[in-house]
Structure 1
């Protein structure tokens, strides 16, 4: 900050131009990186959806093959055929079982052959010589006897000399528990040779980018199918995936001399994998044009800012320099010259204002003596006013002495009304100027009783009062002079103007919500509805910093303000009144026995 204050205006403007240029490039880099990330995430989500769809189709494909094997294995005819030792009976069942398997095969175009092998290795269902070759190669590769009581999909079997195309197998061991609850009897095995051509339809023509690769690998890393038909049946080196693990795996690997984003989904039923590989640079090809356009626009904007900035700096600093030199000249020479600048912008207006200021300074210098005299006279008047204010203050002892004098005169003349009024007035005055801001409620009620004695003497038989305060309330504390002004309002505005005798009621109790509530009611003149509405609005809007010294209704507003200051919400006063029927003022404060309750 200290360095900035020492910089010249030109350097500050150059700094602003430089910061603006840097911000433009920073924003471009930020938005490009964010857009790059969003594009990559979008491509990943799209690829994940494709892999999920392919996975669901492959699982459905495998489940159909498994269901076909189970249907062939667990029908009654197949079990009777495998469990019977009667050659004639088996011969009769042979044709039926073959028809059942043929029907199952016909219902699923993905099945090449269904073969049942009994415990003596007799084959049922091999309809052409290639089936025997396929089964022979399968047994050589996987040693079937070790797979007793298993259900499993096996990998590819292929002999280029004897077979036209690779074969994939589903193996299911057929057993029976009819002889005993605990003994499992091996009857044979069911072998389904299935086709993978249907999977080509799910993979072909799915190209996220021109050089992307989508393929299905079997458990031996042979490519079952791929979107590049030339790769089908070849071996894929999985070592390029490194240590990728998990079901839905994402990584970046080097393949075909390009960095590729790889996603792998595993199919546990087949022990196969669906692999997607997309070159990283192709995922963001669409951003290249945007990036190039952005850099071109950014460069053009930077040059424009630099040119406009230099022009702006020149247009500001040159006139500003003239103004500084002129001000230095005037300050040193105290001449009558004026600044002349024929510029219509802010600098021209500044020159005009400087000239006007110099004119006013000259006028001020001529009036300096008169201003000094006027200032002296004002200070003298202020001192006199303060002295008069001090002299007008009344000593409280003078009031006490005056009231005592009035009381003495009343006693001398045996006018007991004057004695009682003077005594009550002295008590009220002493109570009102106490230093304690919070007093016990019984002290407040004593003050009200003194006031009522004065009013009873003044208005003989004009009204009667009914006071009902619970005993437990009297020992609680309340802000001083809170209730007395309300009683005074009830008499002055309500009962005094009433024709006939009035009634003043004062009640105080603790509510079920542990709140002290007072109700001061009269059956006097009441308040007109419009005036009552205005009073309620002013009570509701009363602010602790607002002054009401010039407003009608000072007493109630002042009480509301003091309660809000002392206790906060929801305490305060409410006013209900019906014209020519009476007024009721309700006051609520919290229970307090402390000398100075905390603001809530």
Structure 2
């Protein structure tokens, strides 16, 4: 099919392409309209969802407000004292205060109409005893047992409707049993009830103002299918003729978009119902626009095809015939056609192109040579950068220079810090991977000189090392990072003075080091995580899952690789008490045993201080 199409004349190909384009345009318009229709319906659904979610949020906020108000009164110490006292004089004395408390709480909520406090004898203390309050209290007394001690669970009542001079008003109540929480055991148990009488005026206004579309209905429906509040007062048929009538739920998913939310606290449902026909009516403009656009595009395509045929297709045919003659007669021949416009310009440039082919080839070779020179210069620059990397001895010499400056200017702190840093740096880069305990402890002492200067003596250190282990061999730079971690993560964050202790002893042919601080400690969950990762340090997959624990895992892994699985470190800590790191080595000196060869490079550990892996 492809070969047959290519064999057709250009004019015939043009006609086929135009016809195909027209079909594609019509198809694209149809698909686009269908997609737009679907998108608009989905957007309406999302908007309805957002509206219902917002309404749900407001209702839940109202519920929480009412709950908070009820519990604030129920567990007020003075309210409970007012309920349990039998002294009427004392009741009268506290009544004004109780009324002030209830008035203050009611004033903070726009949903509370009135508050009622009832003791075990049925004596009521009522805020705002108007006609509506008395009317609804009588209904509540009849329908709910809130004056009996078997009323144990706070609950919302059903909505209650009443017609008055201002129109139809909806109320509901929140009933909270009061249990004594004071220190008098004889009054333990139920001592009264709080009734929070709420109005739906704010909720009525909020729902009635919802206008997603002209015929959209947003209803608040009780569990018994009674419509409590609606945004559409002109409801159709018997289904929604009056808010007090039963609501018969008729779902027609092909005609309506439904969004429903259940509010369990008040046993109600929010329903939003949008006619799909309204959405489609709003799309008539787009439908007509698509049709008009398609017709215009078809006409334009036909006109463009005619212009192309006259201005391009016919001249191209002449050029093709001329090129055939050049190929058949003489390759040095040029196209000699008297054509104007862009086609004439193309003809001229074809002839010029043939003359410049050789020049273009020469420029290509020149460009390749230049690219090669640039690449060569780049490699030379990279080599030069590698050769100019900083030599570690340069850093050591710099520290020595700083020490000299400190001596010259008689600044003891600079001399002390630079000297200690130089010694530590020289110690860390020396070739020996295994060192004596004495050398490691000496490095810790030099490090602590720096810490003493930095914290101005706020942190003190105790070193108690058994003389018998000073000549024992341990891996280099194992204890110092743990000491550094204790300072920066235990003691630095502690208010006041702190103490760092380093102990070393022999126990059952093992050397045990304890690095202990009285700092802020580690939370239990974090401590469990750290010890778990340390325990699994030989598992390469677990070793690198948490970058915060690589330092501790590396130290533990070094010890195990050198001395075996029976050795390593563990952490003990209590929040606000301190942290203890216990490190175990075999008792091994140059006289009684041979240290196995290291299986790693020191460079893997020098830059991974464990200070970055504790909280």
Q: Normalized against structure 1, the TM-score is what?
A: 0.46
Structure with greater Cα Rg: 1
